[in-house]
Amino acid sequence: MRRRPRSPDHVPPTLGELAELTGGRVVGERARRIGAIRTLDAAGPGDLSFLTGAKYLEAARASRAGAILVGRETDGLAADQLVVEKPALALARLLALFHPAAAPAPGTHPTAILGAGARVDPGACLGPYVVVGARSTVAAGAVLHPHVVVGEDCRIGEQVVLHPHVVLYAGTALGAGTVVHAGSVLGADGFGYATDGGVHHKIPQVGRVEVGAEVEIGALAAIDRALLGSTRVGDGTKIDNLVQVGHNVEIGRASILCGQSGIAGSARLGDGVVLAGQAGVGGHLELGDGVQVASKSAVYETVAARSAVAGIPAIAIGAWRRQQALLKRLAGLFRRVAALERAAGVGGNGRSEEDPD
């Protein structure tokens, strides 16, 4: 999202004012003016930086930053400290303060095309070459950037932002405050075929996609329409770039789907589920509330609520860690067995065909 530049006569806030905004406290000079937020290596005396983990402690100590955002008071820092309970949340608020989102002026560009019966609120913004299909509605404050295509009978809620080249197929609904990044496609046909005599016959996908409020969908993601009924994404869920959501999938509230993860058709995910990068979930499975799936894992069975799983196939993460520890010892175990076989005069040359070495 484009951010509005600050006016030349803007007076930078003090560190004390930033503490009030974030609910934190200052260790050092409350009156220090903060002109920008920068990384530890780039910050200067008029800037605020941030310390996100112990591995960056030496960089923080060497930084020229005037102040550093920290989760707890930290010894050895030359900079003033803004101490907050939740640094990531505080950083989000501060970045929004220093880089406010630019609000495009309402209106419809003359090159935009509206289908019969389409309704666009006067407070919405439609950029160049936007297409809004017949009977679709666009609510107040929505922003459709250039070359967005909205099919027939779609519903776009208040303050929705669709970045360039987003495509909403017919019947797609987006809740208030949802953001969809460039190139994503919502509502394409689900992957459904009936095979007969070696020929794959397409099964018409006649459902739709429903996305809740305050959802964010990254670039080049795909959420397929349902065979019948709806593919659903719950309020507050965040979906990364290049994620595939199959037909009739249901995703609960406040879930996280990281890049290149995929969910096969008719799977159901509860609230607060996390799929790490490149994780896959098989069709018709259920993942309970709070389930966490590690990166590159493949889920082939239903997973109970508040479980953490990893591996291919995915198993309880504790068991997976034990397996990984044993795998590291496997070559040594083969060598020990071979030595025992040689000592006993068995096993031919003492080397197994399956010896990893």
Token readout for 128 is 């160049």
Which of 99, 165, 247, 284 is an active site residue?
247
Fold match between domain 15-98 and domain 107-318: no
Task: Look up 247 and say whether it is catalytic.
Answer: yes
In the chain, domain spans:
15-98, 107-318
d(CA 157, CA 211): 10
Q: Which CATH number fits domain 15-98: 3.40.50.720, 3.40.1390.10, 3.30.1300.10, 2.30.30.30?
A: 3.40.1390.10
Query: Token digits for 58?
Result: 């030496």
Instruction: Identify each DSSP E strand in 76-190 by its residue range.
Output: 80-83, 107-108, 113-114, 119-120, 125-126, 131-132, 137-138, 143-144, 149-150, 155-156, 161-162, 167-168, 173-174, 179-180, 185-188
Phi, psi of 184 (to 5 degrees): -75, 150
Contact 32, 17 (CB under 8 A): no
Say what the pTM is. Answer: 0.90
Report the CATH fold assignment for 107-318. UDP N-Acetylglucosamine Acyltransferase; domain 1 (2.160.10)
Q: What is the pLDDT along the chain (357 residues), one digit of tens a residue?
A: 565 556 666 799 999 999 999 999 999 999 999 999 999 999 999 999 999 999 999 999 999 999 999 999 999 999 999 999 999 999 999 999 999 988 899 999 999 999 999 999 999 999 999 999 999 999 999 999 999 999 999 999 999 999 999 999 999 999 999 999 999 999 999 999 999 999 999 999 999 999 999 999 999 999 999 999 999 999 999 999 999 999 999 999 999 999 999 999 999 999 999 999 999 999 999 999 999 999 999 999 999 999 999 999 999 999 999 999 999 999 999 999 999 999 998 865 545 555 555
Strands 208-211 and 230-233: parallel
Which of 10, 20, 15 has its CA nearest to residue 68? 15
* Helices vs. strands in the chain: H and E counts, helices first: 5, 38
